Amino acid sequence: MSIADFLETLRDQEIALWTEGDQLRCKAPVGAVSQELRRELTHRRADIVKFLHAAQTLDSQPAAIVPIQPGGLQTPIFAVPGHSGDVFCFRALAKHLGSDQPFFGLEPPGLDGRRPAIDSVEALAADFARQILAYRPGGPYVIAGYCAGGAIAFEVAQQLSKQGASIAVVALFGSPFPSWYRFFPQLRVHMAEQAMRVAKHLRAITSLSPSELADYIAEKRQQRQLRSETSLRAATDPVLIRRAVVEKQTLAAVRRYVPEYFAGRVVTFLPSNAWMPPASRLLRWPASIAQQVEEYCGPASCEGYSMLLEPHVEVFADSFRRVSLDSPERAKVTS
């Protein structure tokens, strides 16, 4: 039986356990603690103390802050995930940055079912900033963001800076400028994707033999059925329902957000040059948005969804190290 299940069984018997330092204390009704239970408590004492200490640490942890790599002496990174709110998208990046790099995810409210989702970048950033300051007062901090979370990370840095905290750098991974999420840019993206999808199907239909075409159509029907079943499960799963609400409200918030000038350093990490053509100004963070804006690109084969996954994530971890404030190397300022 796991420690958690064991403690739950004791609670059902009105037996309470708690710690005082490294000592395990017990309170129970008369006769509730049998000789067998005493032996088990003695045998499992160290594991129970360790479990209760960990639970107390989690209880005192600010709700938004998820320790991905809590140890280390480097400037701590507090990172905002994409619109899904999944902070573990940063797990591989934290691993490649090493055990000396503290790394914390910022999980938006609404996913745990205890607090409602927030539909304003400014309000969400204020919530994150408050918890960061309570958790590690003063700074310095590295504030990071991925995809749509980049806009929120930028505002978190703004609010921390206005409260006197030191921001070493704002690091944005695959994060378009917020205006890219608005209706007309997204409509253009959707139409381009649809055109590419139709062209792909036409090429397949015209190049396949009758038997191959039948297999192709059967495969597409199977994929469509799988997507339909997945959508049905998502409509009834409470965890997925909450995630969908967070996704919707986060994207709505980013669409409305208008960033102000930041008197600090912003570094954008782009998946590749192909992902970000020179003419795509809506995707780029302009040089005028901050005191210093730098830009790095990943390998040609990298896409936005894969930049924080193996094998590409190691490239971005190395790039991040090179542009950290402790490094003499500097990127070319975006023009």
**pLDDT values of the chain reduced to their tens digit, one per residue, 335 residues:** 778 778 888 887 878 888 877 888 888 887 888 888 888 988 888 888 888 776 665 455 567 899 999 888 899 999 999 999 999 999 999 999 998 999 999 999 988 777 888 989 999 999 999 999 999 998 899 999 999 999 999 999 999 999 999 999 999 999 999 998 988 777 776 676 677 777 776 777 788 888 877 887 788 788 777 777 666 665 667 778 888 899 999 999 999 999 999 999 999 999 987 775 554 666 789 999 999 999 999 998 898 889 999 999 999 999 999 887 544 333 433 32
Give the pTM: 0.72
Return the amino acid letter for 20: E
> Residue 91 in 3-state DSSP?
helix
Instruction: Give ∠ CA 264-270-274 in degrees, rounded to 5.
Output: 145
Q: How far is it, in rounded angstroms, from Cα 14 to Cα 27?
A: 8
Please report, to the nearest 10 degrees, the dihedral formed by the alpha carbons of residues 250, 252, 253, 258 taken in order. Answer: 140
Q: How far is it, in rounded angstroms, from Cα 40 to Cα 177?
A: 58
